[in-house]
Structure formats: structure tokens, C-alpha cells
Structure 1
Amino acid sequence: MIGPYVNGATVVAGSLAGAFLGSRMSRNLRERMPMVFGCASLGLGMAMVVKVQSLPPMVLALVLGSIFGELVHLETGIQKLATKARALIEKFAKPSGDLSHDEFLEKFVAIMVLFCVSGTGIFGAMSEGMTGDPTLLIVKAILDLFTSAIFAATLGYTVVTLVVPQFIIQTSLFFGAALIMPLTTPTMVADFSACGGLIMLATGFRICGIKQFPVANMIPSLFMVMPLSALWSRLLG
């Protein structure tokens, strides 16, 4: 297993460097580059959505997953953890940036989704688990190095805590790939990709400040889309 370690290391390095530089980094760079990352998230999302094979189960999974996320207040829980992490870290490190509490939480949740449940990370971890090829995760690591640095210049050292959920998710997918992939079909994988693409689109809109989608509450849909896709194919097949 190489990819999760490399990706985690770049997030830590980028976050520490960005938070250390803080306001010393160009204001234009800090304000404009997140828009570029948001645009990239939109583009990746669209590329993933067009892979859909069965639209009804994908949409149903997104709706049901989002409802579940709302009912259990998933995003609120993540925001509380982010607040605690920020308070703990700022006891030992000077805060970076001048964001309000609400602005901090909005951006933090958006980049958490970008780092932890992006299509590149999910499929990269599963691909390495099945084939031993870490290429996709290394590509993601290069992107995350710069993304984490730019966001950490504004959000501070708290960004480095995202390496924990990212590493857990990627290693779980790595070790679970050998068990999961034989049970899937190309249609199931395509619908899973499309569902993740919609979440990436919502993340891009949020990072760009266009619309504050509850992206964290949409995450449970990723666990529902494959079973629903399989059920849909079985009923129609």
C-alpha cells in the first residue's frame, strides 16, 4: 500500500506550509485559487456524472442518502468536530486568516468532501487494492499538496486534521476492494461514479460560493447507490 501514505503525506505537508505562510501568501493567490479548485471539482463532477448507466437508482440513492444525512445531522456533527479541532489546534498555533466562524465551517466541510470522498480518491484506493497500481492516488496527492496549502493559508492548521478521515477511507477501500469489486458490475460502478460526481458538482458550487449545498449530508448516498443499482438491474433484467 503506497497511495494512501503518499496522499496523506502531501496533505500534511501542504497544510503545514500553507498555515505557516498564512497572510504572507499573496492575497490574490489565497482568494482566487480556491475558485480554480472549485472549477476543477465541477469539471471532475461532470466527467463522472456522464458515466451513469441507470439514472433512476442513482437519483433515488442521492435523495434517500441526503434525507438520511439530514435526519442524523451529519454535516452538523462534522461542523462540531471541526470547531473542536480548530479550538484545540489554536491553543498551540496562531490562527491563520480572518474568516468568521460560519465561513470557516462552510469551507472546511467543502474541502473535507473534496479530500476524502472525491472520485479520484475512491477509485484510486480501490484500483490500488485490486491491481497494486498507486498512480491515481499519486496524481491526487500532487493536486492535494497545492489545494491543502492554499486552503490552509486561510483556514489555518486545522486543515491538517483532514488527513485522518482521508487515510481511514482510503485504507478501508484499499483493503476492501478485493472483497467489494468481485460483487459489482460495470453498471453498479458507473452509477456509483455518477453519484459521486453529483456530490463533486455540489462541492464545486460550494467552494466557488455559488450555492451552499449540504454536501456532507449527501455522503450516505454513496453507500446506497450500488445496492439500489443492483436491485434496479435485477428487477428490469
Structure 2
Amino acid sequence: MILFGTIVNALLIVIGTILGRFLHNIPERMKETIMYGIGLAVAVIGIQMTFESTQILIVIISIVVGAVLGEWMDLDDKVTKLGQWLEIKLPRKEEGMNISEGFVTATLIFVVGSMAIIGAIDSGLRNDHNVLVMKGIIDGFTSIILSSSLGIGVAFAAIPVFLYQGIITVLSTQISQYIPQALLDFFISEMTATGGLMILAIGLNLIGLTKIRVANLVPGILVVGVIVTVIHFL
């Protein structure tokens, strides 16, 4: 089932929110250690994916060019400003945040990022749900923390997560109908490796070793498509 990863991700957000409403006093040290553990696991997944490449030079060029494009468009800053704009437009209660704010805050955290895109493409093209399941674990734990302060609105973020990742997954399955199998296999291997580096960056950010603007690396996926297409037809 191609939507398995997306469904698991959405369910873990809901489960995490419910748990968060009952677990108000999670020790900070426990939160920190668990997040480090998740970060290490994400980093390992990213490293494993990087070894899928058959031509590492394509991965390097795609990451570099993608980073240039991402920084030029300043995607990370645009995402931040979108969140700020939404928070300004939404009504705020004097004491704490309301359901709308919990929903928007959680949605921005769960939807934005390369892991959602790469994982959804992986589910659609390879029927491989590992990335989305790992993302679901991260989102689930994050939901526990968010819902303890923002309330039940966090659970509703599961809806846009399901729609966003589900649409990308379904669209990815249609690619094989219009692209030669050899080109598709070539793209999958290099896209997986390039996405793996981005996921490694997410893991390092979770651990606290780096502050990489991963959103600015996402255009690298498009660069991979261009490069492998040119190489294939040449």
C-alpha cells in the first residue's frame, strides 16, 4: 500500500497529541536524550540512503547547485515568514494558545522540510516507507511536547500532513508511466542518495551539532532530475 508511510505518520501525530495531554511533566533531560536518540537514528538512515548513489558526483553537484538555488530563493526564510504571518492573522487568547494556533504551529513543523518530500517520493516510486515511518516517530514525539503546551489543536495537523504527503506519493506513482524505466531507476538511485544527505543534515540538526537550513537544500532534488535526464539522453 503506497500510502502506508503517510497513514502511519498521521496516526503517530494523533497518538502523540493524546499522550501529550496526559503527560504534562516530562523531564527536560528525558526529552533531550530521546531527541538525541532519534537524531542519531535519522542520521544513520541518511547515511544508508547516500550509499544508493551510483555516481556520487551527481549527488555533490545536485546538493551544491540546489543549495545555491535555495539560498537565492531563501526558502528557509520564506517558510519562517509564512509561520509568522499566520500567527499574526490568527486570534490569540490571553492565556495560552487556542486550537488554531496549535494546529498551525504543528502543521508548519510537520509539513515543511525535505523529509516529507523525500519520504513521500520514496513511498510512491519504490514503495519504501522507512523515511516516512521515521518521520512519523519524530512527529509523534514532537506532538507529545507540543500538545502539552498548545493543546489538542496539534492533532489536527495530521490532516494536512496526510493530504500533502499523500498527494506527492500518488503523483510519484504516475511518473513511471511517462519516463523510461532505465531513466527512472537512475533518477531513483541518485534522488535517494541526494535526499539521504538532506536527511543526514536533519539528524545532525536534531542532535544539535549543526544548524543547517535544510529547506534551502530541497531544490537539489529537482537538480538531480535535470542532470540524470541530460546524462540519460546523451
Distance 1:145-1:65 versus aligned 2 partners, 3 A rule: closer
Structure 1 CA distance for aligned equivalents of residues 198 and 227 of structure 2: 17
- 2:38 maps to 37
- 1:99 maps to none
- For residue 25 of structure 1, give the secondary structure of its aligned residue in structure 2: coil
Distance 1:154-1:24 versus aligned 2 partners, 3 A rule: same
- 1:79 maps to 80
How high is the TM-score relative to the length of structure 2? 0.74
**Alignment: residue pair count:** 217
Task: Tell me the CA shift for residue 144 of structure 1.
Answer: 4.4
Whether 2:141 is the aligned partner of 1:147: answer yes
Deviates more, 1:154-163 or 1:77-86: 154-163
Letter in 2 for 1:147: F
Deviates more, 1:84-93 or 1:65-74: 84-93
CA contact (8 A) 1:115 1:162 kept: no
- 2:16 maps to 14
Distance 1:56-1:37 versus aligned 2 partners, 3 A rule: same
CA contact (8 A) 1:152 1:159 kept: yes
Structure 2 CA distance for aligned equivalents of residues 93 and 177 of structure 1: 44
CA contact (8 A) 2:62 2:220 kept: yes
- 2:52 maps to 51
Whether 2:187 is the aligned partner of 1:175: answer no
Structure 2 CA distance for aligned equivalents of residues 136 and 169 of structure 1: 18
CA contact (8 A) 1:53 1:191 kept: yes
Task: Tell me the CA shift for residue 2 of structure 1.
Answer: 4.7
Structure 2 CA distance for aligned equivalents of residues 38 and 22 of structure 1: 22
Letter in 2 for 1:199: M
- For residue 94 of structure 1, give the secondary structure of its aligned residue in structure 2: coil
- 1:117 maps to 117
- 2:220 maps to 221
Letter in 1 for 2:184: T
Question: What is the percent sequence identity of the aligned residues?
Answer: 19
Task: Tell me the CA shift for residue 177 of structure 1.
Answer: 2.7
- For residue 210 of structure 1, give the secondary structure of its aligned residue in structure 2: coil
RMSD value, Cα: 3.5
- 2:211 maps to 212
Task: Tell me the CA shift for residue 194 of structure 1.
Answer: 0.4
Letter in 1 for 2:54: Q
- For residue 117 of structure 1, give the secondary structure of its aligned residue in structure 2: helix
Structure 1 CA distance for aligned equivalents of residues 81 and 190 of structure 2: 32
- 1:101 maps to none
Structure 2 CA distance for aligned equivalents of residues 155 and 73 of structure 1: 30
Task: Tell me the CA shift for residue 58 of structure 1.
Answer: 2.0
